[in-house]
Amino acid sequence: MLLLGGIALILAGMIFGDIFAVFVLHQNAARVGAGLSAAAQAALAGDSSSVGAHFRDVGAFLENRGTKVDTHVHMIDFGYLALLLAILQPWVAFADKTKRGFGWMFLAGAWLLPVGVFFIHYVGLAYSPLRAIGWASIFADLGGGCVLLATAAYLVGLCIHFRSPVSVPDGLLELRTNAGQRLLAGGLVLVVLGFGHGAYYAATDLYRHEAQDYQILSRMVAGSASQDAVLVDAALAEYAELQGDKAVKIAAHAHIIEFGLLAMILAFFQPYVNLSEKWKLRWVVVLLAGSVLLPVCVLFELRFGLFAGGLADVGGLMVIVALVAMWSGIVRYTGRLDVGPEIAS
């Protein structure tokens, strides 16, 4: 249940992310830029009432973008956590029924939180009993609470198991396949690369970006106050460039690590993928190639524009297709178990 539910969450999160990247992300960024530009022009013209209106628009666009990114990230991360908890199940010292109950609680929360977050932008504060938090946020927090409780319960189950002298064989972890070894090694390399890139970003860009953000906005505001249209336009262009630079570097860092982690987790499930060895290896190659292609192309998006963006989407699609193939292999395996032990053996 956790295994199939986890992969379903990851797939849903990835497909949502792809749709968001293609149809919403760039258009939304353009609207945010246009809103900020309109606010700066209004300030330049001395029209203070329009400034507030334009910033309300910018706030709405940013909320739209932020909630969609959060939906994408939480869905995928809960999927990863579900897979990890699935592997740990033999060591959780609860009855099967109790474990299943916590599994349902985890999956319910793991869907409720991202769906709730998605609706924050559309529901707003309508009929909310609270001043700052709307119903969608309340349901999202409830989902987070369910995931938290279920994870804590599994931790307690693990602690009880580790305290007891009874040893449970972890057959799944003992099994090794070629595909699994390659996924584990490839995933670890991706994670190390992502860490290296993150450290490089933190050392060279993070604080510089933060300082630039403040300096550019200061110039924009000063230009508006002194009615210097040239300064305002230059600052607006610089600001858009900065946001783009920041976004691609953070996205590349996050995606390479997430894909590395996914590959490592999937390594443990390879014995359950009911496909021939040759096809298992092919899907491993597709998954790892897509995992490299997406972050690398995202990183070059500012230099090569739509070409790199399109290739990044192809990388994302490769990961999704490989994941669907592995998922269907696992479904075939569970189907074989359902048919009967004779066939399964």
Partner 1 sequence: MSTARQVLLLGAIALAIVGMCHGTWYAVFAEHQALDRIGESLADAFTLASERNVAQMPAALAAYRDAKYAHERQVDAHGHWIGLAMLLIALGMAFDRVALAEKQKLALAIGLLAGATLFPLAVLLQIFSHGSLPRVLTVASSGLMIAMLAITALGLSVKSSTFLRK
- By the rule CB under 8 A, 81 interacts with partner 1: yes
Q: Name the residue nearer to partner 1 (CB basis): 264 or 311.
A: 264
Cβ neighbours for 65, distance < 8 A, ≥ 6 positions apart: 24, 25, 28, 29, 32
As a whole number of angstroms, the distance between CA 148 and CA 142 comes to 10
Among 26, 27, 30, 152, binds partner 1 (CB under 8 A): 152
Count Cβ atoms below 10 Å from residue 203 Cβ, excluding itself.
Answer: 10
d(CA 9, CA 332): 19
Q: What does the buried/exposed string (b/e) look like for 206-218 if buried means 16 or more CB atoms within 10 Å of the residue's CB? A: eeebeebeeebee
Residue 285: alpha-carbon gap to chain centroid: 22
Q: How far is the CB of 340 from partner 1 (least distance, A)?
A: 30
Single-letter code of the amino acid located at 298 = V
Candidates 91, 104, 272, 333: give the one binding partner 1 (CB under 8 A): 91
Please state, in angstroms and rounded to a whole number, the distance separating the CA atoms of residues 111 and 183: 27
Which position among 3, 191, 284, 311 is part of the footprint of partner 1 (CB under 8 A)?
A: 191
Residues 212-241 that bind partner 1 (CB under 8 A): 213-214, 217-218, 221-222, 224-225
Binders of partner 1 among 25-44, rule CB under 8 A? 39-40, 42-44
Binding footprint of partner 1, residue count (CB under 8 A): 76
Binding status of residue 265 toward partner 1 by CB under 8 A: yes
* Identity of the residue, 175 or 343, whose beta carbon is nearer to partner 1 in the bound complex: 175
- Of 24-32, 134-142, 298-306, 307-315, the window that binds partner 1 (rule: CB under 8 A) is 134-142
Q: How far is the CB of 110 from partner 1 (least distance, A)?
A: 12
Within 282-301, the residues that bind partner 1 by CB under 8 A are none
- CA-based nearest residue to 37, from 173, 183, 170, 235: 235
CB 3, CB 86: distance < 8 Å:
yes
CB of 285 to partner 1, least distance (A): 15
C-beta closer to partner 1: residue 30 or 155: 155
